[in-house]
Amino acid sequence: MIREISRAIASLTMINGTIPLWRRPISLIAVISTPFSFLFFIYLFGGPSKILLGAIGGVLFTIVNASTMLQTDLLFYKLDLKFQQIVASTPVNPLVYTFGLATGNIVFTLPGLAIFMLIIVYESHIGVLQILSVIGTLMVTWVIFSLFSFLVSTRVREMRDIWPISVMFSIIFGVVPPIYYSISVLPTTIQYVAYLVPTTWAAILLKGIITKNFTGMAIPAVVFVLEMMGIMVFTAKFSNWRLNRS
């Protein structure tokens, strides 16, 4: 069973990641250009002391952006290619499908993530345990937003609707939350809204891990994991893997 699942995930990763990246390497630019632009401006206006903040923001934004953009791929495969219909009539389940394609999307971010991680390690001198904690936080973020993308893609019926939707979610999840700044700079009301977005908790956790300031980290960690479980339940209940509600 596990062997079959890994084969399915590996083949979907090739379809959505390895093969397109191999044949169209220029696509890399689309995924990493925005976080590197932010890093550049942070360095330009904040100086070398802010480069760590820019790299933490960059690594998180890259994951959130790539996972949010998965909506477009999923919808294209569903509506234009009818690939989802083909897969849905086989024993492959929606979770395997989503994570196979989501892993494919991550392939595009790997070079960018590697550079950001190098900057983080170089600037903060974090150890193996902290690196693993960073990776763990990023993985939970990836799971949350990949599931969310799947949920959205199964509810949208027109290809042209997904472009504004995915840009909107990219901003809501990747730019508005305090990724590149401290949450305390936001007005109180906006802070409450920001706390609803999983990216906020991911940013708090990452900053805590990387700056080795672990005080008060338990609550963000618990809320973050609860949010992941919430989105899992929500996606299972409200997504349309097949066409039953059409």
Partner 1 sequence: MSMPLESKSLKKIYRNKGRKTVAINDFTFYVKEKGVFSLLGRNGSGKTTFVKVSTTQLTPDEGYVRIFGKDVVGDEKELRHMISLVPQESRPFPHMTPYEHVYLFQKMNGNNREGSKDRADTVIDLLGMKEFSKTECVNLSGGQKQLTMVAMALSLDVQMYFLDEPTIGLDIITRKGVWNAINRYKNAGKSILLTTHYLDEAAFLSDEIGIVSYGNFIKQGNLDQLRSTLEYDTRIAIRGSHEGLDLEQFGKVHSDNKGSVLFTNQENVEKILSNSTIRKERIEIGPIGLDDVFISLVGEDIEVDEN
Give the residues lining the site for partner 1 (CB under 8 A): 3-4, 7-8, 10-12, 14-15, 19-20, 23-24, 80-83, 85-92, 100, 242-244, 246
Residue closer to partner 1 (CB basis): 4 or 161: 4
DSSP state of 76: I
Q: Where are the alpha helices (DSSP H) in the chain?
A: 2-13, 19-23, 27-46, 51-75, 83-88, 94-124, 128-155, 159-174, 188-196, 198-210, 218-238
Closest approach of partner 1 to the CB of residue 13, in Å: 10
The residue (of 26 and 185) whose beta carbon lies closer to partner 1 is 26
Rounded to the nearest 5 degrees, what angle is found at the Cα of 206, between the Cα atoms of 200 and 211? 130
Minimum distance from residue 141 beta carbon to partner 1 (Å): 26
State the nearest-atom distance from the C-beta of 136 to partner 1, in Å.
28
Q: What CA–CA distance (Å, rounded) separates 234 from 150? A: 11
Rank residues 53 and 101 by Cβ distance to partner 1 and give the closer one.
101
Q: What minimum distance in Å lies between the beta carbon of 48 and partner 1?
A: 40
CA torsion sign for 134, 108, 149, 83 is: negative
Tokens standing for 177?
Answer: 């939350």
Which residues have C-beta within 8 Å of that of residue 83, sequence separation ≥ 6?
77
DSSP 12-37: HHIIIIIHHHHH-TTHHHHHHHHHHH
Q: How far is the CB of 97 from partner 1 (least distance, A)?
A: 9
